[in-house]
Amino acid sequence: MAWSEFSKLPGALLPWYDANRRDLPWRKTKEPYPVWLSEIMLQQTRVEAVKGYFCRFLAEIPDIPTLAVCDDEILHKLWEGLGYYSRVRNLKKAAQVIMARHGGVFPREYSAVRALPGIGDYTAGAICSICYDFPTPAVDGNVLRVISRLTEDATPIDQPAFKNRVREKLVEIYPSRAGDFTQALMELGASLCGPNRKPDCESCPCRDFCGGCLHGTAESFPVRPEKKQRKTEDMTVFILSCDGSYALRKRQETGLLADLWEFPHVPGKLETGDALVALEAMGLKIKQIHRQVDKKHIFTHIQWNMRGYYLEVSELGGDFVWFTAEEIRENAALPTAFRQFWEEI
């Protein structure tokens, strides 16, 4: 498909979307708060993983005023396991801005939405098109994949110029059902033309004018830059127990997994003897070693190789906060990297 045939997209996608759209909880409303919440949760997170979190979050925090004053520990616990915790902290910051500058009402102007903490071009475009039917494209990796295959455009999709061109071309063809068109593009890019799978060209509503389908080149697109090798870090994690309580500590207020709870840990994958020396340096007296478990956790740009020791100590000590198992379940948000050790208990 040449860029000149771009105008065929709405006519092909909207009927297909009407017949094939997934029944997702955030699609049952055009109210900005739940749509905004869903878009933030869906960033770098699978749809199936988000469904339960979305419903629980709304049940606990049903509106913007409640979000603006919610305790950070409650927010982190509701978000526990979703990852990228800066998202939920920015949700609260944005809610506070909405309360202070917009009288508690989610703004209707694209520029005001885009100015909220944690909201970029994609999220602002999605909210304004879905909630207000504005012709504001939401261009992410899924949409770029679809368009690069349709047009057989070999520009690497990480190039800002390509994303800007796609956005400009979409603005020109947006139909009155702007929100449905935005979601139709999302749906196509997440399903028939999804990532890490062979495109289902035979079922695609765009097959009659898609260059990739017509010329058999769809799997050659999009063109991606070469991935940088992920950095790795080794660490030894201590799951310390004493009389039914477990040692946790707070991470720093900035940086990776900021302000969340974690199990104590030290750099390097230590053998048992060295691990005991490290614990003694923390002022702890070891009563019993229960077991050792090796795990890993992959972030976007870094991989943690983690060795965990489950130990019982003779008394509460160290520079930690000691929680019961129930307190951890109810109140302490453990990021997935550390929660995987807790789930073994």
Q: Return the SS3 of 75.
A: helix
User: In the beta sheet, which residues pair with residue 306?
Assistant: 235, 295
CB 199 within 8 A of CB 214: no
Alpha-carbon gap, residue 339 to 336, rounded angstroms: 5
Q: Return the SS3 of 184.
A: helix
What DSSP string runs through 225-272? PPPPPPEEEEEEEEEEEETTEEEEEEPPSSSTTTT-EE--EEES---H
Q: Give yes or no: 39 in active site.
A: yes
Question: Own/partner pairs for 254-259, CB < 8 Å, 24+ apart?
Answer: 256/299, 256/302, 257/85, 257/335, 257/337, 258/85, 258/86, 258/89, 259/72, 259/76, 259/85, 259/89
User: In the beta sheet, which residues pair with residue 237?
Assistant: 265, 308
Residue 195: partners with Cβ closer than 8 Å, 6 or more residues away: 141, 142, 145
Strand 321-324 relative to strand 245-250, pairing: antiparallel
User: In the beta sheet, which residues pair with residue 321?
Assistant: 248
Catalytic hit among 5, 31, 39, 233: 39
Nearest to 16 by CA among 210, 147, 181: 181
Instruction: Give the pair of three-digit tokens for residue 38.
Output: 């869903």
**Residues assigned a catalytic role:** 39
